[in-house]
Structure 1
């Protein structure tokens, strides 16, 4: 189950960002963009995230996933369409196979909400994308 390795990577990135920020007492939520074509099962990822957070700064944190639909554009005719599942990877207008995937492969942290010991209030941080 690769969702566990993804959950561990997300936790590691959030912990690094919290360490750089200093005085973070708890992480309350993590928001991820998950592309339809990323090969990630959001429910499995949430389950793994909850397990992997135990005993860390993220224990009890909510994982919020925003699904990004797959979209493609045909190079020859410039038609754009929703790729869907299973993915339609040839142009529905001209049947061309020279396409560009515009979206749907995302797997990135969008934001993190944590509590800061200095202000005792929730803080929203954006964690830079690391692939």
Structure 2
């Protein structure tokens, strides 16, 4: 399950951001997950909940926002978002398209609880 190695890297990144911002804890983690990323959302959440124990994100809420497939048609120049996993242009039916989104996983935002500076 490659979601475990992905989450290990994600936790390292979260801890780095928390340290840079002098946060005592992370309360929320939001990731954007492309439909073509190859990552299973429920397995990612399971892995996150397993690996967050004992870290600055131990009590964090984990939110996955799914990103739809985005394509641009080279024939009719339409830009489309779709839930289907195919490259057919929904406007003209062409297969001469370019994938422009929906392939990545990104750390979108963190909510941090920071120490008071006195």
TM-score (norm 1): 0.79
Q: Are residues 1:112 and 2:90 paired?
A: no
Question: Quick one: distance in 1 between partners of 2:95 and 2:43?
Answer: 35
Corresponding residue of 1:33: 32
Structure 2: 5+ residue stretches without partners = none
Segments of 4+ in structure 1 off by > 6 A? none
Question: Quick one: distance in 2 between partners of 1:26 and 1:104?
Answer: 30
**What is the CA distance between 1:83 and its match in structure 2?**
4.3
**What is the CA distance between 1:94 and its match in structure 2?**
4.6
Corresponding residue of 1:54: 53
Q: Deviation per CA, 1:7-26, whole angstroms, max 9, x where unpaired?
A: 1111111111111112x111
| Other structure's SS at 1:115 match | strand
User: Within 5 Å, which residues of 2 pair with 1:1-131?
Assistant: 1-22=1-22, 24-85=23-84, 87-92=85-90, 93-97=92-96, 99-118=97-116
Structure 1: 5+ residue stretches without partners = 120-131
Tell me if the contact between 1:4 and 1:45 (Cα under 8 Å) persists in the aligned partners: yes
C-alpha RMSD of the superposition:
1.7
Task: Report the number of matched residues.
Answer: 116
TM-score (norm 2): 0.87
